[in-house]
A and B are shown apart, each in its own frame.
Chain A
Amino acid sequence: MWGYFKFEWVQFFTNKKNVAIYCLLLFAVIFYSLRVAPAYDPIEKVDVDEIEARYLTRATFLQDMAMKDLTGSHPSVFMAIDIFNYINPYDQKRLDALDRGDLSAYAEATSEWYDITNSFTYQNGSFFYNPSYYTYGSQYAEDNAFYAYFENAKRYEMFAKADYDLSIALFEQRTALQTLERLLNGPLPVILIGCALLLAIDIVTKDRRNPTILRGFPIADWKKLFVKGFVALLGGIVLFIPILIGIVIIGLQSGFGHFGIPVPYYTANVNWMQEGLLDVMSLGMFFTQCFLLLMMWFIVIITVVLLSSVVFRNELVNLAIGMLIIFGENFYFSRGVGFFWSVENYPTSYIQVGQIVSKIRNYYYMSDQLTVEFGITLLFTSTVIVVILMMVIALNSRFKMVK
């Protein structure tokens, strides 16, 4: 068994296709780290000019209105005066804090600023969020901004209580670990699972090129399949090495951050008006949960490829089935659909690993049922079913793994 493992291991890491996947991923990571990450332009950034411009405009308006007789003025003028009088002190605090270099005070004022701004902006025809949310005619711009403001309010609330050094890079999520967090909430899980699929795709079918060497090995077919699966899983874990290289590159430019950084997650709280919509976990916990869910996904994809390989014996079919699983969620995903369908029971609903851990996916689905624990249970159950099917085939005396 150990001999067969070593044999498969060597083959896996000398496979030109696999080496190409690692090289392409490394190239993409280095490009991202050197060119894309430094150019990151968050919507919610620490922008003194923007705060000041907004503050001065409002202050000027308030001064102008103070000198006027407002009898008979439009009600919106009174509403603006009320809100500007209420919010401008917070902007004043933020500007003063930045002037003093007191980032803790800035975080406290900003947290409150986000809460207050959110309360009067959401679904208010007179006020709008940052215009960047409305790009590309986004149908859900308001909802996205509403969530982002809550998220920022929570994040800054935690920063205000922090006992570690604060920085603008930390606020804007530019540090290496926060960049990874952002990527895990974005395309990275699908990229990694896709890479795992491509790595595993020929792990069984390649044997047909060397049949007379392999088919006489005194090892049971089911053991061969398990060893192949294990090697493919280790190969999947190796995908994290390029990611770690990227973290080092970004870390050297923008700082590494640390595992205690707060990561807000959605709580689907019915009393959100009073208690808020989000809670926080540490970045370390976020990564741990993401890693577990990703590992579970690797295992699912690899076992499905193994089963498909013994049934269809064709890499293209393996690819098609794998792609169907990875992109299957797109066939039914739409905002709020979780309110009507039990999407939490579909394993494919858990593909956006970071969004499952931060639970923003629950916000999108309008469901509070998608949890990491349930996702792992569901994926594990799926794996067990696939493995049982594979074993039934592999233990059949007429089955030949290598023909």
Chain B
Amino acid sequence: MIELQNITVEFAGKKVLNDISITFQQGEMIGLVAPNGTGKSTLMNVLMNYLKVNNGSLMFKDGLSYSSKSKEVKIHQFVSMMPDQSDLYNYLSGRDHLKMFATMWKSDKKLIDETIEALNMGHYVNKKTGTYSLGMRQRLCFAMQIVSNTEIMLMDEVMNGLDPNNVEVISHMLMKKKEEGKMIIIASHLLDNLEKYADRIFLFKEGKLVDADEIVATFSESILTTLRVKNMPEHVKQALLQRYPALSAQTLINGMTLISLGALNQEALSSITAFLVECNLPEFTFGNVTLNDLYAMYYHEII
């Protein structure tokens, strides 16, 4: 468990984290989403005590907090953060790095081989990391944190440089760790992936953590609320709204038009489908607002 109370961090008078109060529980996967430089890494650094807060407090299980050096060591025994791939020792092998982390956290050595196998690292793990590609390094960094086997795992841009297959492999491993009761906090720009696996997703706005469910009330529910139409011309949108005055529409910066369906019946939905096909707009889906939509809606940016 991590409990943040009124956490505030300022850099040069600018509040990067502004009075954040929230509690994360074991067995949760938390997604953090925001454009670069808005506070994701800062929050992780605060959780690791790499950065001192200007105000507020942080509490872990058994009332532990970063009040002294000895308590910091105790907390770091069950909280770890994924290393950055640029920090790897180029003259050591991947296996050396895994052994290093397993030894430091006194975890089961069997985990090293299991993780190597699960992440398909067997063909390169004994080579020096200086010869690795970005994706190989990234997988190694992820594996290092997995072998540390801590109760709380913080991962900043864990999917960087990974191909879709490896994104899936890592995602499944994360799910497995979550099922083991570990808390996983991930900052990522792979929104589809995050949306698929995270239990709660938070966006950063002006130093505050905003739950995606607060932005769109039904975000985390599996219900049909929205018609998403790609590259919808303005005149078609106006024509649709004239035909169905109960609808509301919003075109996002990523070219996606979100049409809120409200309480339309099946007949109306069929009619709308026919209308879009008539207008030669075959790329549309019925469903809910996606995290990509939410991101574009919230930050007016495209990832």
What is A's interface to B at a CB cutoff of 8 Å?
2-4, 6-7, 10-11, 14, 209-213, 215-222, 394-400
Contact = CB atoms under 8 A, between A and B. Distances in A.
25 contacts: A3-B106, A6-B103, A10-B92, A10-B96, A211-B87, A212-B82, A212-B87, A213-B83, A213-B88, A213-B97, A213-B144, A215-B48, A215-B50, A216-B48, A216-B80, A216-B81, A217-B104, A218-B73, A218-B104, A220-B69, A221-B69, A397-B66, A397-B68, A397-B69, A399-B69
Interface in B82-123: 82-84, 87-89, 91-92, 96-97, 100, 103-106
B176 interface: no
B67 interface: yes
A219 B104 contact: yes
B104 A3 contact: yes
A219 B100 CA distance: 13
Contacts of B70: 220
B160 interface: no
B77 interface: yes
B76 interface: yes
- Which 3 residue pairs spanning A and B have beta carbons closest together? A3-B103, A218-B76, A212-B83
A210 B76 contact: no
Contact of B87 (A10, A213, A219, A398): A213
B52 interface: yes
Given A219-B73, A397-B68, A209 B104 contact: no
B100 A3 contact: yes
Contacts of A209: 87
Nearest to B81: A216
A323 B82 CA distance: 39
A5 to B, nearest CB: 10
B89 A212 contact: no
B104 A210 contact: no
Contacts of A221: 69
Contact of B67 (A2, A215, A397, A398): A397
Contacts of A3: 100, 103-104, 106
Contacts of A2: 103
A218 B77 contact: yes
B87 A395 contact: no
Contacts of B91: 14
Given A212-B84, A217-B76, A218-B76, A398 B89 contact: no
A4 B104 contact: yes
A219 B105 CA distance: 10
Given A14-B91, A218-B73, A220-B70, A400 B50 contact: yes
A77 B48 CA distance: 92
Contacts of B50: 215, 400
Most-contacted residue by chain A among B66, B69, B73, B81 (CB, 10 A): B69
A221 B70 CA distance: 9
A400 B82 CA distance: 19
A215 B49 CA distance: 10
A10 B97 CA distance: 12
A213 B77 CA distance: 14
A7 B103 contact: yes
Most-contacted residue by chain A among B48, B77, B87, B96 (CB, 10 A): B87
Contacts of A395: 69
A329 to B, nearest CB: 38
Contacts of A399: 69
A213 B88 CA distance: 7
A218 B73 CA distance: 5
A396 B84 CA distance: 27
A58 B15 CA distance: 97
A9 to B, nearest CB: 12
A215 to B, nearest CB: 6
A217 B80 CA distance: 8
B105 A7 contact: no
A399 B77 CA distance: 19
Contacts of B74: 218
B237 to A, nearest CB: 47
B106 to A, nearest CB: 8
B68 to A, nearest CB: 6
B40 to A, nearest CB: 15
Nearest to A394: B69
A399 B91 CA distance: 29
A345 B70 CA distance: 38
A400 B84 CA distance: 18
A210 B81 contact: no
Contacts of B105: 218
Most-contacted residue by chain B among A212, A220, A396, A398 (CB, 10 A): A212
A211 B69 CA distance: 18
Nearest to A221: B69
Given A216-B48, A217-B104, 18 more contacts: A3-B103, A7-B100, A11-B89, A209-B87, A211-B87, A212-B81, A212-B83, A213-B88, A213-B144, A216-B80, A218-B104, A218-B105, A220-B69, A220-B70, A220-B73, A222-B69, A397-B69, A399-B69
Contacts of B52: 398
Contacts of B97: 213
A343 B197 CA distance: 72
Contacts of A216: 48, 76, 80-81, 83
Interface in B27-57: 48, 50, 52
Interface string B242-268: 000000000000000000000000000
A216 B48 CA distance: 7
B297 to A, nearest CB: 33
Nearest to B71: A397
Nearest to B70: A220
Most-contacted residue by chain A among B76, B81, B104 (CB, 10 A): B104
Contacts of B81: 212, 216
A14 B72 CA distance: 30
Most-contacted residue by chain B among A2, A210, A217, A395 (CB, 10 A): A217
Contacts of A217: 76, 104
Contacts of B72: 397
A222 B104 CA distance: 16
A213 B89 CA distance: 9
Contacts of A397: 66-69, 72
A211 B88 CA distance: 10
A14 B128 CA distance: 13
A218 B66 CA distance: 13
